[in-house]
Amino acid sequence: MAETQDSVDPLLKYLDGKQEKYVVTKELGSYAKEMACEVLRLNLAKEECRAKEERKTEDFWRQIVAMKTEQMKLWGRIGARTKAHNRKLQRMNELMASLVEEMKKHKVELADWVKKLTDC
C-alpha cells in the first residue's frame, strides 16, 4: 500500500499546483479526486495482476520441480532395468559359451566313438 501512496502523493501535489495556478473553484478539486481515485484503481488493478502472475509463476515452479522429480524417478527405473537386462544378457552369453564348449566335447566324443566303431 506504501507504493500506492508514494505514486498518488506526487500526483495530488501536481494537481493541487495546477488548481492554484488556474484558480478554478470546486470543479478542479473534484477532478483531482476523480483522477486520484482512478490512479488508485489502476494501481490496484496492476497489483492484482502482478499478484496473479506471481501465483502463476510459483505454480509453474512447483510443476517444474514435480516434473524433474518424476524424471529422476524414471531415470532411476530405466537404470535399474538396464542393469537387470545387462545381467540377463551376460548370463545368456555365459550359457552360450558353455554350450559351445559342451558341443566341442561331444564332437570329440563322437569322433572317438566313430573311430572305435570303424576299428571293430
Ramachandran class of 23: left when φ > 0, alpha when ψ lies in -120 to 50, beta otherwise? left
pLDDT tens per residue, range 79-91: 999 999 999 999 9
pLDDT tens per residue, range 28-79: 568 888 888 899 999 999 999 999 999 999 999 999 999 999 999 999 999 9
- Three-state SS sequence of 11-42: HHHHHHHHHHHHCCCHHHHHHHHHHHHHHHHH
Name residues whose C-beta falls within 8 Å of residue 55's C-beta, 6 or more positions apart in sequence: none
- Whose cell is 570303424? That residue is 118
> Residue 5 above 60 pLDDT?
no
Distances (CA, A) of 110 to 1, 99, 102, 117, 119: 99, 16, 12, 10, 14
* The model's pTM: 0.48
Q: Would you say 32 and 56 are in contact if contact means Cβ atoms under 8 Å apart?
A: no
> Residue 24 above 90 pLDDT?
no
Q: 70, 4, 65: which is closest to 37 by C-alpha?
A: 4
- Whose cell is 561331444? That residue is 106
